[in-house]
Chain A
Amino acid sequence: MLEPIIYEGGVFKHNLVTELVEDLGGYIIQTNFMQTEVRIQLLCPHEDMSMLEDLAKELRAKITRAPLTGTDIIVIAPTLAYHHLPHHACDVAEYMRRFGANTTLIGLARGVGRRIAQISAKERALADEHDLAIFTFGNFEDCLTKEKYVLYKDLEVPSIITGTPELIKAPAYAKAYVGGLGRIAHRLKGENELTALDKLAEVAGECLDEERLDIAKDPLTIQPARLMSEIKEQVPAINKSLSPAPITLQLKGARIKLPYREYKEAIENMTFEEGTTLKEIADVLPSYVRDYLVIRILPKSVTGFVM
């Protein structure tokens, strides 16, 4: 089993970490340089964790478990209107990133209000492209429980709702609810607000673990992390992408930040050492995010084998 980890330390000798993880059969997901500091998101085999811990200690670096690593979360606010800045949804998205998730933040075109709230088919399809949707709603229980469900009831991905009141059970159609995170007109830095954010990260982790268990019942033909390292080797154009995460890992695949029309064929024809091509084990689809590609890995029940 691969353990999701965030490594934070100096740039000096950080390549030793990269090499160690690759030698152990783990994967480097993302590396961010911040002047003399480096932050690496990685997956390390559970049984070899002590080696990574020893190396981190030697390099005076910090390693923490990041349960959301390798997941793609969409944070949806009913509006991102400029006169409501700062939006607490921004802090929510940023906080999820600290636990390793890749987050997308959107404001709905017509998500505001009660009776008038609605979500478009395009927005819904965009949300369904992610692993988990977090809806950041407002202050009133009446709105949360009786009106706003129209925004997430038809989503295929699980939805976590946030709002001000503490509800005993999650509103209808929602997977979970986290209170204390309603409409707040300042940056989230109060003790209660940070506790609520921690709670949200924990709930998101639990939801994603449930999803992982579901996937484990019918495992994917190839692990998304392995798919990522193969793409890095076989499609050199990905290394020229300026995005901080050119390949965004998801539970059931990945989003590749390359133009769909130009690279669909190259990606589909990637060959693995087992002799199969990617198009035999996955669907390559256009993403709803810009003109990117989305890869949906097929499960064992469809392909008949696991690599």
Chain B
Amino acid sequence: MEPLEVFRVESPDKTGAEAYESVSRDVLSDLELTTTLGRLWIYIDPAEPVFIFCTLIRSGLPPVCVRDMAEIEVGAPGVDEVSINIFNEEYVPQLLSALRIKYGRENIEQPDRKTMTIATKDPSEVAKEVADVIIADPRREIESRLADALLRITPEGFRVRHHISTESEMLFVASEDPIKPEWIKKAEDMISELKED
């Protein structure tokens, strides 16, 4: 799926739809979401009043584990520590805080910029287990940015909201009145059609 290969903003009010397309483009580019979303379909009917936002999210980056950014070594025999030699410094602050939470602040040291050590009585076990610790999840960050984008794009007065969000799609219905089942049905039809395209 290409970035934003489908971008539809529909409304019975054509001028309003064009203006809303501009608002949506501004918000998505502000939040750097244009390459994250694959297909997007927004429907607004002010007379109902309802706002529907359906999108397919492109498969993004997998979570970052310790092994993706560092080499793990067990210390010399008799030394009770595991040494982490960092080769990608992008997530160092997150790594440090994750290790402190997992093994305790007093057990973590950083003798130099690219090395961290964990003091432990069972170095080989800890070396195995630390490799799979998740340091950062770009996916979750995208979800929070997408939620932010929705808040910005949705008409401010539409505070009754319904949403279904999975890893690959997001369906959002908002109104100032209680959500009607037919709106949710319409949103589901829209997302099915988006998948077929």
Contacts and interface: CB of A to CB of B under 8 A. Distances in A.
B78 interface: no
B5 interface: no
A124 B49 CA distance: 27
Given A185-B23, A185-B26, A114 B49 contact: yes
B40 to A, nearest CB: 16
B15 A112 contact: no
8 contacts: A78-B157, A84-B152, A117-B157, A140-B11, A164-B15, A164-B19, A166-B15, A184-B23
B151 A83 contact: yes
B176 interface: yes
B26 A114 contact: no
Most A CB atoms within 10 A — which of B13, B151, B157? Answer: B157
Contacts of B158: 113
A114 B151 contact: no
Interface string B79-117: 000000000000000000000000000000000000000
A115 to B, nearest CB: 6
Interface residues of B, number: 25
Contact of A79 (B19, B20, B156): B156
Contacts of B177: 115
Most B CB atoms within 10 A — which of A81, A116, A182, A185? Answer: A185
Interface in B37-62: 44, 46-47, 49
Most B CB atoms within 10 A — which of A79, A83, A117, A140? Answer: A140
A110 to B, nearest CB: 9
A138 interface: yes
Interface of B: 11, 13, 15-16, 19-20, 22-23, 26-27, 30, 44, 46-47, 49, 148, 151-152, 155-159, 176-177
Given A114-B46, A142-B46, 15 more contacts: A78-B156, A83-B151, A84-B152, A84-B156, A114-B49, A115-B176, A116-B157, A117-B157, A139-B13, A139-B19, A140-B16, A165-B16, A182-B19, A183-B19, A184-B23
Interface residues of A, number: 25
Nearest to A81: B156
B176 A114 contact: yes
A116 B15 contact: no
Nearest to B177: A115
Contact of B26 (A79, A140, A186): A186
B23 A183 contact: yes
Contacts of A140: 11, 13, 16, 44, 46
B58 to A, nearest CB: 23
Contacts of B26: 184-186
Contacts of B22: 184-185
Nearest to A78: B156
A164 B47 CA distance: 17
B155 A113 contact: yes
Nearest to A190: B22
A114 B174 CA distance: 13
Contacts of A165: 13, 15-16
A186 B23 CA distance: 8
Interface in A159-190: 164-166, 182-186
Given A165-B16, A182-B19, A183-B23, A138 B155 contact: yes
Most B CB atoms within 10 A — which of A112, A114, A141, A165? Answer: A114
A164 B16 contact: yes
Contact of A141 (B16, B156, B176): B16
B12 to A, nearest CB: 8
Given A84-B152, A84-B156, A116 B19 contact: no
Contacts of B27: 185
Contacts of B47: 142
A253 to B, nearest CB: 35
Interface string A127-148: 0000000000011111100000
Contacts of A184: 19, 22-23, 26
A139 B20 contact: yes
Nearest to A183: B23
